[in-house]
Amino acid sequence: MLDCHEEENLFLDPATLAYVMVLTDVMGTSAHEVIRNASDRDAGYWIFGYATARSRTKHDLNKNRGLLEAGWATIEYDPGGWMASVLDQQVSEARAEVSAPLRKAVEAYRTLRVDHALLWRYCNGKTVLAEIARDTLKMTVDAACSLIITSWEHSGKERPEPCKELLAWIESLPSVKI
């Protein structure tokens, strides 16, 4: 239904984020770079989530925080070593079931992180939005979302397509009028 990972991704539209960055005096970097940097810090969780969603394992997987908190720089430096460490934490039956999806997930993230049109839609929106709000815009997530919504409503900035689609769907519901 939603053409993005989760609803928070709607607030990561690069055109809108670039506008909000200007409003908050953030200069010297592009919106895509800000999104990519925040997403890269969350890469371990994204890769593990992608792999487990695509594996057929019935086993509870060990979500070793230290490994999952690895950023892209660590994973890219030694992807085989990182994957081996993640797999070593799993019960033996799950290792084989998760190995190929984990390898594919690393490659999927490698591709996603440089795709300007897709990264903002499919990164871990909650985490990335929170980090951008806190570290780049220097405000709370609620304040950042309010500023983004205000920019859509009062500046002529277009809502991103997934947001328009969601609003159209909501308005099509028989008992809802916005």
User: What would the DSSP string read from start to end of 94-127?
Assistant: HHHHHHHHHHHHHHHHHHHTT-TTTHHHHS-HHH
- Is there a domain that residue 76 lies in? yes
- Domain limit, last residue, from 62, 83, 114: 114
Looking at the structure, tell me whether residues 11 and 50 fall in a common domain. Answer: no
Looking at the structure, tell me whether residues 139 and 87 fall in a common domain. Answer: no
Distance from C-alpha of 16 to C-alpha of 93, rounded to nearest angstrom? 46
Amino acid 176: pLDDT: 57
Looking at the structure, tell me whether residues 53 and 4 fall in a common domain. Answer: no
Residues 6+ apart with CB under 8 A from 124: 5, 6, 39, 42, 45, 46, 49
Asked whether the predicted pLDDT for residue 161 surpasses 90, the reply is: no
Min mean pLDDT across 10-19, 71-80, 86-95, 105-114 is at 86-95
In the chain, beta strands by DSSP E: none
Amino acid 156: pLDDT: 72
Q: What is the mean predicted confidence (pLDDT) over 119-145?
A: 96
> Taking the CA of residue 168 as centre, how many other CA atoms within 13 Å lie in the half-sphere pointing to its CB?
9
Query: What is the count of structural domains for the chain?
Result: 2
Q: What is the mean predicted confidence (pLDDT) over 40-47?
A: 94
Q: Which residue has the higher pLDDT, 176 or 18?
A: 18
Amino acid 126: pLDDT: 96
Band of residue 101 on the pLDDT scale cut at 50, 70, 90: confident
Looking at the structure, tell me whether residues 47 and 33 fall in a common domain. Answer: no
Distance from C-alpha of 141 to C-alpha of 130, rounded to nearest angstrom? 6
For 20, the domain range is 1-38+135-178
Amino acid 60: pLDDT: 65
